[in-house]
Amino acid sequence: MVKRILSHHNIHTADHQKNNMTRRHSFEDTSLTDNRATSAPMIHNDTSIEDEYHHHNSKKKHSVTIVDVGTTELAMNKSNEQQTEIREQWSEKLDFLLSIIGFAVDLANIWRFPYLCYKNGGGAFLIPYVLSVVLGGMPLFYLELLLGQYYRQGAITCWRKICPLLAGIGWAVTIIAFYTDFYYNVVISWGLYYLFASFRKILPWSECNHRWNTPDCSTVNTRRQFLKDCINQFNTTLNNTIDLSSINSNEQHSFETSLFYENCSEKLTQLKIVSPAQEYFHLQVYRLNQTHNLSLENLGNINWQNLGCLAIIYLICYFSMWKGVKTSGKVVWFTALFPYVVLTILMIRGLFLNGSMKGIEYYIRPDLSKLNDPSVWVDAASQTFFSLGPGFGVLMAFASYNDFHHNVFRDAMITVAVNSLTSFASGFVIFMFLGYMSEVSGRAIKDVAEQGSTLVFIVYPEAIATMPWAPVWAIFFFLMLLTLGLDSSFGGSEAIITALSDEFPVLRRHREWFVGILFLFYFLIGIPSCTDAGVYFVELLQNYAAFYSIIIAVFFEAIAVSWLYGITRISEDVKQMLGTKPGKFWLGTWCIASPLFLGGIILSGLIHYINPTYGKLTDPFYYKYPDWSHLLGWMFALSSIIFIPAVAIYQLLIEQGSFVMRFRLAITPWKERQRNQNPDIIISTNHVLKKYVSEETI
């Protein structure tokens, strides 16, 4: 049953109209007239709130007190009336939907999914991917939204109320989100750097005549000519009947059908010939000059252009978020929708490129034999998890600003569907351009297809540079990257801001200062990433800051909710919010499928773990990280999840009784603890109302 407090200003009012008259304070089951934010579930006992006390010589004042539990702020006004600060809410329901879509659809949809689909069997990869979404990603996504909307608080406070034993989950996921922002905004600043560079008649990464270029720089046409000459040389030597001498090197076609293509392609790779796009990123955006012996120990000088772009990104983030979700909720109307406009434009343009159909064929051509490879299933599971993004505390934070009865189920299903379809559609765009690049360069798609930052900052820009009106397409593309990244950055920052503000309410009262100090700290941490060799620092953070730690944290989330908090409790919570209990599918996935899904990713990652490097061994800018950096990376990763066992041990120590009794008390949810401590208490996720009687003899 849902209780709503009709008014607060009458709580301490005494009726003095008649002597010896019964004083009664009642709570009506009606909604607030000014704001629905205080609508929340309450747990009732059999004790009536209404009490009558009669005495022929005295009068007794009865009053009801709202006990501050962290969700709401209490203050006394001039008339000694207790006031409650209402939690901020989204201005529009679509603000929330677009915010979670913007968070879920990020750079990984562009730079990771298409490559994984191509590598792992094309269309056949959709089988493990869809199963991973349905059995793992979607249930976890929905679960975190439910918890955030029910408890209406950030991750730290929310997990302390769900399961005190595993309250460290809240701290762990908040710190992981904190670490992720150390490098994620730096990557976004690269997109801004490229966007500024695109406002030129000739793109700076299209030619080898700039001051940063080296003698090893080679344009697309030069590399194509090398392949043609190499294949002709093999033909002449072996008297092969295939003659390519009559082929114009400017014609767009691939040499991959030649008998000697693999030999010549390998020879081209061994020569470590560098493209202008590679040199632009490594020698202009960064300054990885091989003669300077740059490394993690010697990062070099600060690149002021990079630092300026990073400062602009943080200014955008600050002025989008400083006033709360009411401002960020409006910004996402542009940042969440604009990428789809650009994606549509690029898809239409890609259809008319030479080789686009070849690229699509490589992308979706099914190879069912790949399904026998366990790594394909692991790739599908990890892509699903990191794309939807449960566990960072973002979904919990966003949902906490919803109306209590908001249909979060509908929004969860829409977001999961949009995220998956965006990943699949972006693959068509990417591989249309890769097919085009294959034809232009003469190389096979497998030799031009990449993933990660290499795809979006080297391969794709080089393909765009060969097109007519290249600057226009570059501006569209990097604007899309910028908006995709900013959405996710907003989400990660809001998770931290909400979690800490709910745990320490003073921060919420000074949100503008808090957000400003937070982003200033991020900016200072980002300075090493803007040095000559800062990309080494960024890649190290990317490899260790979140991958294993976030999966472990979410694994404990699934255990905490399904097996400690319990399916019965979560079912009742959902019924109070949405009117119906979750079906057997959701209960089964939360209890069994999701923990197995996460456990499989963790085990596979640990079994197949190898120390990361920067680039491939054959890359001109290859860098092997020193051993101490891997040790530091693992310490960095463990520094967040260490809160889970540390808080659990602390919680067991502060409880009383035998170990079994301590454990039982430590897994008892907050609302049941409050009810057990005082039967005369009404518990709400927004308020705790405690009845007490004080006597005054008049």
Asked whether residue 331 is marked as a ligand-binding residue, the answer is: no
DSSP reduced 3-state for 80: coil
List Cβ neighbours of 397 (8 Å cut-off, separation of 6 or more): 148, 154, 155, 491, 494, 495, 497, 498, 499
What sign does the CA torsion over 473, 209, 215, 186 have?
negative
DSSP reduced 3-state for 628: helix
**Residue pair 400/498 in contact by the 8 Å Cβ criterion:** yes
Which residue has 């000559």 as its token pair?
532
Asked whether residue 487 is marked as a ligand-binding residue, the answer is: yes
Asked whether residue 285 is marked as a ligand-binding residue, the answer is: no
**Three-state helix/strand/coil letters over 548-589:** HHHHHHHHHHHHHHHHHHHHHHHHHHHHHHHCCCCCHHHHHH
Query: Distance between CA 198 and CA 205 in Å, rounded?
Result: 10
What's the CA dihedral at 535, 540, 546, 552 to 10 degrees? 160
Inter-CA distances, 172 with 166, 181, 517, 566, 645, Å: 10, 14, 21, 22, 10
Asked whether residue 102 is marked as a ligand-binding residue, the answer is: yes
* Residues of the chain by 3-state class (helix, strand, coil), percent to 5: 60, 5, 30
Q: ∠ CA 691-694-697 to the nearest 5 degrees?
A: 150
Closest by Cα among 318, 325, 423 to 97:
325
Rg (CA), the chain: 30
Asked whether residue 104 is marked as a ligand-binding residue, the answer is: yes
Q: ∠ CA 498-502-504 to the nearest 5 degrees?
A: 115
Closest by Cα among 13, 9, 14 to 34:
9
Closest by Cα among 295, 294, 265, 276 to 215:
276
Asked whether residue 484 is marked as a ligand-binding residue, the answer is: yes
Query: Distance between CA 142 and CA 146 in Å, rounded?
Result: 6
Asked whether residue 235 is marked as a ligand-binding residue, the answer is: no
**Residue pair 197/584 in contact by the 8 Å Cβ criterion:** no
Characterize 386-410 residue by residue with b for buried, 16 or more Cβ atoms within 10 angstroms of its Cβ, and e for exposed: bbbbbbbbbbbbbbbbbbbebebbe
DSSP letter string over 161-184? HH-GGGTHHHHHHHHHHHHHHHHH
Look at strands 74-76 and 40-43 and give their pairing.
unpaired
- Phi/psi at 396 (nearest 5 deg)? -65, -45
Asked whether residue 346 is marked as a ligand-binding residue, the answer is: no
Query: Distance between CA 472 and CA 476 in Å, rounded?
Result: 6
DSSP letter string over 303-371? -HHHHHHHHHHHHHHHHHHTT-HHHHHHHHHHHTTHHHHHHHHHHHHHHTSTTHHHHHHHHH---GGGG
Characterize 431-465 residue by residue with b for buried, 16 or more Cβ atoms within 10 angstroms of its Cβ, and e for exposed: bbbbbbbbbbbbbbbebbbbbbbbbbbbbbbbbbb
Query: Distance between CA 36 and CA 577 in Å, rounded?
Result: 13
- Phi/psi at 315 (nearest 5 deg)? -65, -40
**Residue pair 350/429 in contact by the 8 Å Cβ criterion:** yes
Which residue has 């801004």 as its token pair?
192
Asked whether residue 488 is marked as a ligand-binding residue, the answer is: yes
Tell me the binding residues for Na(+): 102, 104-105, 109, 387, 419, 484, 487-488
Tell me the binding residues: 102, 104-105, 109, 387, 419, 484, 487-488
